[in-house]
Amino acid sequence: MKLKIINKLFFSVALGLTTLASTNIHANSDNNVYINSGDWIKQSGDFVTLDRSAKQVEFFVHYPQLRGGNCGIGLALNRRNSYTKIYQKLIKKITVSNIYPTDSETGELTPVSVSNKGATFAFNFDAQYYGTIVTISTKGSKTFGEVFDSLSAFDNVHALASAVSCKQLDTQK
C-alpha cells in the first residue's frame, strides 16, 4: 500500500514538473531571463514540493554569494490551477519564512509579485549570509492537501517552491 501511494506521489510530482517545465515563457530572450516555475527549477535546482499530507516543508536556498544568484523563492501551482486569484487565496492560508529577520523583524517573507505564473518572495540581504532555510507552513492545523482542496474547483492541486534568481525576480516586480 505504501509503495502504491509513493508511486502515485512521484507520478503526480513528475507530471506537475513536466507541465510546469513545458510552459516556458521568455521575458527577455537576449539575457535568458525566464519567468515561470519550470525555468526557476532549471536555473537553480533548489526546490521542494508541498506534500499534500504535510503541514510544513523546508528547503535550503543558496544566496547570490554562492553559485548563481538566488534572491528569493517562487511558489507555483500546476497549470490547471495557476490563476492569480488562486495564488492570492493560497498566500492568505500559508506562511513563507526564512531563518533571518526581514524588515518587519520577523522571518516572514511577503510576496513581491502574484500573477498567474506564480507568487515570488524576495530575501532581505541586510542580515543574511550565504544561504537560508525557507519554511512554508499552513496557518492553523490544516495540511497542504486541505488548503489546496479549498482553493479550486479543479481536483489535484499540486504546488512546488523553487529558488528564484535575482534576474528572474526582477522580471516579476
End-to-end CA distance of the chain: 45
Going by pLDDT thresholds of 50, 70 and 90, the confidence category of residue 168 is confident
Over range 1-18, report the average pLDDT. 46
Cα–Cα separations (whole angstroms), residue 66 to 10, 19, 37, 44, 115: 30, 29, 21, 11, 28
pLDDT at residue number 135: 94
For the chain, which residues make up each domain, given as ranges? 2-172
Find residue 118's DSSP bridge partners: 115
Which positions ≥6 away from 124 have C-beta within 8 Å? 100, 101, 102, 103
Average predicted confidence (pLDDT) for the chain: 74
pTM as predicted: 0.72
How far apart, in whole angstroms, are the C-alpha atoms of residue 33 and residue 59?
Answer: 23
| Digit-coded pLDDT (tens) for 12-50 | 444 344 334 433 333 333 333 345 555 555 555 567 888
